[in-house]
């Protein structure tokens, strides 16, 4: 059951990356702001996740981390689509 939820959060992050890369880019004004929001949220989640590596991580942090990995993967896929 937990494996399915982890995969679901990963794919939701992937689809959310498509939203992040297409909707703000329609006007062309929001590229820098959306990039700053993505990087800031990525670093905040990483800080919360890797602050104390010895203790057992809560399950919600793992889901958020999978969501974060899905966003990064989705942005890389979009970058490769634009480059080809």
Q: Each residue of 9-55: pLDDT tens digit?
A: 999 989 988 887 777 666 666 667 777 888 888 888 788 777 766 56
- Angle at 62 (CA atoms; ends 22, 7), nearest 5 degrees: 60
For residue 56, what pLDDT band results from cuts at 50, 70 and 90?
low
Which runs of E-coded beta strand occur in the chain?
none
Contact 68, 13 (CB under 8 A): yes
Quick one: DSSP state of residue 23? S
| Residue 32, pLDDT score | 74
| Statement: residue 1 has pLDDT above 70 | no
Paired tokens of 22: 């297409």
- For 65-75, write each residue's pLDDT tens digit: 888 889 888 88
């Amino acid at each position: 059951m937990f494996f399915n939820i982890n995969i679901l959060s990963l794919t939701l992050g992937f689809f959310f990356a498509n939203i992040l890369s297409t909707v703000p880019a329609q006007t062309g004004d929001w590229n820098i702001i959306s990039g700053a929001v993505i990087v800031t949220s990525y670093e905040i989640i990483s800080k919360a996740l890797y602050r104390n590596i010895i203790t057992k991580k809560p399950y919600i942090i793992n889901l958020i981390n999978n969501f974060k990995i899905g966003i990064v993967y989705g942005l890389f896929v979009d970058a490769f689509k634009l480059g080809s």
